[in-house]
Amino acid sequence: FNNTSQLKPSSTMKFALILSILIVGAAAFSPPTKETSSSHLKNCQFEDEVGAQAPAGFWDPLNLVRFEDQERFDRLRYVEVKHGRVSMLAVLGHIVTTAGYRLPGDIDKSGTAFTSIKTGIKGIQDIPQSGLIQIIAFIGFLELVVMKDATGKAEFPGDFRNGFIDFGWDSFSDEEKLSKRAIELNNGRAAMMGILGLMVHEQIS
């Protein structure tokens, strides 16, 4: 076998994987079909929630909220918002490190420089074990102590102001608040697909 024949299977597999991702992504943004099934009627209570907007409208193909109440829906929305925020930070971090920006100095006392750490998933292998433990511990601290509704006065799932940080939120009208929440949801959804695409690209390139 020559070099060309050896590369064909790999190229075909990459093309098939990329094509499948594009098809799934396109399906995610396709408009819902008009139906009057029991599943559709059951989900009507959530069709006016933030995030049910053009072009897809209310889109729940897996019926995750079909038999759920408002409390369960709010929990799923909270998880969606949180994952979206993490993904937005992940995409931004990927862009910054890919552009060559690094913190100055070393990441540990043994002389492992920040500049020596690779971009993306491969960078995990370059981080010392003690550093990974610190990262995991910090994430756990944020999850359990900081990123939560400590006062019980949240206006919506993902509202972690806790009477401390506002940035003028209370000065917005109800329409402006809904618009900004919808923008965050859309950006978070795009970021989740974006960071997934970046990770897949790392593995197949």
pLDDT (tens digit per residue) in 133-144: 999 999 999 999
3-state secondary structure of 180: helix
Question: For residues 77 and 62, what is the distance between their CA atoms, to the nearest angstrom?
Answer: 15
Read off the pLDDT of each residue in 169-188 and give the average, rounded to a whole number.
92
Cα four-point dihedral sign 36, 40, 44, 49: negative
DSSP helix/strand/coil, 113: strand
Amino acid occupying residue 203? Q
pTM for this prediction: 0.73
Give 106's strand partners. Answer: 113
**pLDDT reported for residue 16:** 57
For the cut 80, the answer to whether the pLDDT of residue 8 exceeds it is: no
Nearest residue to 198 via CA among 100, 87, 102? 87
Question: Looking at per-residue confidence, does 150 or 6 come out higher?
Answer: 150
Whether 51 and 73 have beta carbons less than 8 Å apart is answered as no
Q: Which among 193, 181, 166 has a CA at the least distance from the CA of 88?
A: 193
